[in-house]
Amino acid sequence: MNATFTKFALAGLVSALLAGGAVALPQKTECLAGAKPGGGFDVTCRLAANSLLAAKLIEQPMVVTYMEGGVGAIAYNHVVGKRAADPSLIVAASTGSALLLAQGKFGSHDENAVRWIGALGADYGVIVVSADSPYKTLKELSDAYGANPASFPIGGGGAVGSQDWMKAALIAKGAGQDPKKMRYVALEGGGAVLTSLEGGHIKIGAGDASEMVKHHLAGKVRILAVMSPERLTGDLANIPTTREQGYDFDWVIWRGYYTGAKVSDADYAAWTDAFGKLVQTPEFKAELAARGLFPYTLIGPAFDAKVKSDVLRFKTLAKEAGL
């Protein structure tokens, strides 16, 4: 596991424990996914539910429930309004949640309306080109884009304002160009990004590492950069990060959890304590790999700070990009 993120996790865990005496988790626990079954929030809930039970950190299976609407907005408002003091409940969240909070998509409630427990895994943005693209490095691509941005349509698996759109805006900014003027092509998911690259309809793709790595290995696309703070291991060990190549941005797609704002310090500490123990277990590591996620651990105050810094960063980026 990444040593830096482990250090943050332990520091956050100690701080959380000092905030209130640790107590056992409730006998019955629940993870709320703010969408239909099968999506990213479901994966996040199953990651916690399956591994906590397998590691014997809970005695009874965690119930996973679903509340579709607003990409998590309905669930967020439900917790704030009706379950703010429920210690048995955790709710799946992601970088996308912070992005929507930054854009005011969760209504009147901001990032301070809940207690952020921890992130247990992540995916990362990637910058991809077609396999036959003449560009072999991010600098080559960025220089070419900067010279003639109008000739470089950038495709992503989401609408304007989505995570892929934000990644595209970072690519444009990295090349010294105005994100408001980029040619962004909104596509239906990563599969459509792959098809559009292969067909020459876009020249740059913004995607996720977990989805694009298999296509990179198969020779269908070329990943020029991983948008992670540090170089990844495994199949992407040979791909440099954006920062390694001289570009001061990354895109961490963390998978985390929050609970109600009125949950006691002791009950909050019970969750951070359980997560701190969980990430050290082989059961969790196996579940993380099975879900296609990379190790990324921030717990307690360290995660709270990450969420709030993300929201602030996304507000700035959204304003710069004309949202």
Query: What CATH code is carried by the domain that includes residue 87?
Result: 3.40.190.150
Helix, strand, or coil (residue 129): strand
| Cα(184)–Cα(93) distance, integer angstroms | 26
Q: How far is the first Cα of the chain from the last one, in angstroms, to the nearest whole number? A: 36
Say whether pLDDT at 308 is over 90. yes
Indicate the residue among 236, 262, 297 that finishes a domain.
236
Indicate the residue among 212, 236, 260 that finishes a domain.
236
pLDDT band, residue 322 (cuts 50/70/90) = confident
Indicate the residue among 204, 236, 268 that finishes a domain.
236
| Cα(283)–Cα(107) distance, integer angstroms | 38
Answer yes or no: do 25 and 37 share one domain: yes
Range of the domain at 72: 5-123+252-321
Nearest to 59 by CA among 105, 104, 28, 38: 28
pLDDT band, residue 4 (cuts 50/70/90) = very low
Answer yes or no: do 165 and 304 share one domain: no
Tracing tokens 């961490």 back to the chain, one arrives at 252
Q: How far is CA 274 from the centre of its chain?
A: 21
Answer yes or no: do 22 and 119 share one domain: yes
Q: Give the DSSP H or E segment for 66.
A: strand 63-66
Any domain includes 246: no
Q: Give the DSSP H or E segment for 259.
A: strand 252-260
Query: Which distant-in-sequence residues (6+ apart) come within 8 Å of 7 by Cβ?
Result: none
Any domain includes 198: yes
**Domain count along the chain:** 2
Answer yes or no: do 160 and 297 share one domain: no
Answer yes or no: do 66 and 44 share one domain: yes
Nearest to 129 by CA among 222, 259, 241, 20: 222
Nearest to 131 by CA among 222, 205, 46: 222
Say whether pLDDT at 83 is over 60. yes
Answer yes or no: do 16 and 105 share one domain: yes
Answer yes or no: do 227 and 132 share one domain: yes
pLDDT value, residue 22: 53
Predicted TM-score (pTM) of the model is 0.85
CATH number for 197: 3.40.190.10
Tracing tokens 């989505």 back to the chain, one arrives at 162
Nearest to 251 by CA among 152, 322, 158: 158
Answer yes or no: do 65 and 152 share one domain: no
Any domain includes 176: yes
Any domain includes 244: no
Answer yes or no: do 282 and 304 share one domain: yes
Answer yes or no: do 207 and 144 share one domain: yes
Query: What percentage of the chain has pLDDT greater than the value 70?
Result: 93
Answer yes or no: do 188 and 263 share one domain: no
Say whether pLDDT at 15 is over 50. no
pLDDT value, residue 320: 82
Query: What percentage of the chain has pLDDT greater than the value 90?
Result: 80
Any domain includes 220: yes
Any domain includes 242: no
pLDDT tens for each residue of 172-227: 999 999 988 899 999 888 888 999 999 999 999 999 998 899 999 999 999 999 99
Any domain includes 150: yes
Any domain includes 241: no
Answer yes or no: do 156 and 222 share one domain: yes
DSSP for 204-251, please give it.
Answer: EEEEEHHHHHHHHHTTSEEEEEEESSS---GGGTTSPBTTTTT-----
Tracing tokens 């107590």 back to the chain, one arrives at 23
pLDDT value, residue 21: 45
Contact 284, 87 (CB under 8 A): no
